[in-house]
Amino acid sequence: MQVTLHQDKCVASGQCVLAAQDVFDQRDEDGVAVLLDDRPPEELHDDVRHAAAVCPAPAIALADS
Ligand code: SF4
């Protein structure tokens, strides 16, 4: 799985961090999401898919690879 985070579209809701805290974090200054791991291990894929599903912005893109 390849994860892409579009920070320009992020609205800093924090949903992705709640869903997958090993893959996403938020910047202290403005809450914009930060990608910690663009190729997360298999056991985190469900959490990452959940993060993408609950993100209120089109900020998280997933691709199989
Ligand atoms: S869930 Fe989406 S909009 Fe919210 S912080 Fe994460 S990437 Fe940004």
pLDDT at 65: 77
Alpha carbon separation from 6 to 3, 38, 42, 43 (Å, rounded): 10, 12, 22, 23
Is residue 14 predicted with pLDDT exceeding 90?
Answer: yes
CATH number of the domain that residue 43 is part of: 3.30.70.20
Domain that holds residue 21: 2-63
Residue-wise DSSP of 8-64: TT-----HHHHH-TTTEEE-TTT--EEES-SS--GGGHHHHHHHHHH-SSTTEEEE-
- Tell me the pLDDT tens digit for each residue of 35-50: 999 999 999 999 999 9
Kindly give the distance from the C-alpha atom of residue 9 to the centroid of ligand 1, in angstroms, as a whole number: 8
Residue of minimum CA distance from atom 2 in ligand 1:
55
Question: Looking at the 3D structure of the chain, how many domains does it have?
Answer: 1
Pocket of ligand 1 (CB under 6 A): 10-16, 24, 33, 55-57, 59-60
Kindly give the distance from the C-alpha atom of residue 42 to the centroid of ligand 1, in angstroms, as a whole number: 21
Query: What does pTM read for this prediction?
Result: 0.96
